[in-house]
Amino acid sequence: MSDLQTEYSVDEPLNREPPLKDLVSSFLTTKNGYDRNHGPIPHLDASKHIVQVDGAVKRQLSLSVDDLKTLTQHEVVCALQCAGNRRHTMRTQIKEVQGVDWYDGAVMNCKWEGPLLKDVLVHAGIDIEESRWKETHVAFACFQVKVQEDDWYGGSIPLDRAMRADAEVVLALKMNAEVLKPNHGFPVRVVVPGVAGARSVKWLDRITVQATESKNFYQQHDYKILPPHIDSAQAAENMWANVPALEEMPVNSVIAVPQPGSITELGSDGCIEVSGYALPSGESGPVVKVEVTADEGIHWVEAELLSDDEHKGKWAWTLWKTRISMEKGKSQRLFSRATDNAGNVQESMTMWNLRGVCYNGYGETRDLAIV
Contact residues for Mo ion, defined by CB under 5 A: 36, 82, 197-198
Stretch that binds ligand MTE, among 37-45, 283-291, 316-324, 344-352 (CB under 6 A): 37-45
Sign of CA dihedral 109, 114, 116, 121: negative
Q: How far is the CB of 69 from ligand MTE (least distance, A)?
A: 21
Distant-in-sequence, close-in-space partners of 45: CB < 8 Å, separation ≥ 6: none
Q: Which of 103, 69, 73, 80 is nearest to 28 (CA)?
A: 80
* Nearest distance, CB of residue 157 and ligand MTE, angstroms: 13
Q: Where are the beta strands (DSSP E) in the chain?
A: 50-55, 61-64, 73-81, 107-115, 137-142, 153-158, 170-172, 174-175, 178-179, 189-191, 206-210, 252-257, 263-264, 271-279, 287-293, 301-302, 304-306, 318-325, 329-340, 363-370
Q: Is residue 153 close enough to count as binding ligand MTE by CB under 6 A?
A: yes
> Under the criterion CB under 6 A, does residue 8 sit at the interface with ligand MTE?
no
Q: What is the largest CA-CA distance in the chain?
A: 69
Q: Hey, how many other C-beta atoms are within 10 angstroms of the C-beta on 230?
A: 18
Task: In whole angstroms, give the CA distance from residue 330 to residue 258.
Answer: 14
* Distance set, CA 272 to CA 265, 298, 327 (Å): 7, 18, 10
Neighbours of 347 (CB within 10 A): 13
Residue choice 77, 79, 139, 198 for contact with ligand MTE (CB under 6 A) = 198
CB of 15 to Mo ion, least distance (A): 9
Q: How far is the CB of 258 from ligand MTE (least distance, A)?
A: 26
Residue number with CB closer to ligand MTE (246 or 334):
246
Cβ at position 153, least distance to ligand MTE in Å? 4
Q: Which one of the spans 115-123, 198-206, 225-233, 303-311 is the region binding ligand MTE (CB under 6 A)?
A: 198-206
Exactly one of 97, 201, 225, 358 binds ligand MTE (CB under 6 A); that residue is 201
Number of residues that bind ligand MTE (CB under 6 A): 18
| 197 scored as a contact of ligand MTE (CB under 6 A) | yes
Q: Per-residue x/- mask for ligand MTE, residues 210 to 229, rule CB under 6 A? A: --------------------
| Binding positions for ligand MTE, 167-186, rule CB under 6 A | 184
Position 337 contacts ligand MTE (CB under 6 A): no
d(CA 283, CA 341): 9
When asked if residue 33 is in the footprint of ligand MTE (CB under 6 A), the reply is yes
Taking CB under 6 A as the rule, does residue 142 contact ligand MTE? Answer: yes
Q: List, in sequence order, every beta strand (DSSP E) within 221-303.
A: 252-257, 263-264, 271-279, 287-293, 301-302
Q: Residue 183 Cβ, how far from ligand MTE at the closest point, in Å?
A: 6
Q: Which residue ranges make up the site for ligand MTE (CB under 6 A)?
A: 33-39, 82, 142, 147, 153, 184, 197-198, 200-203
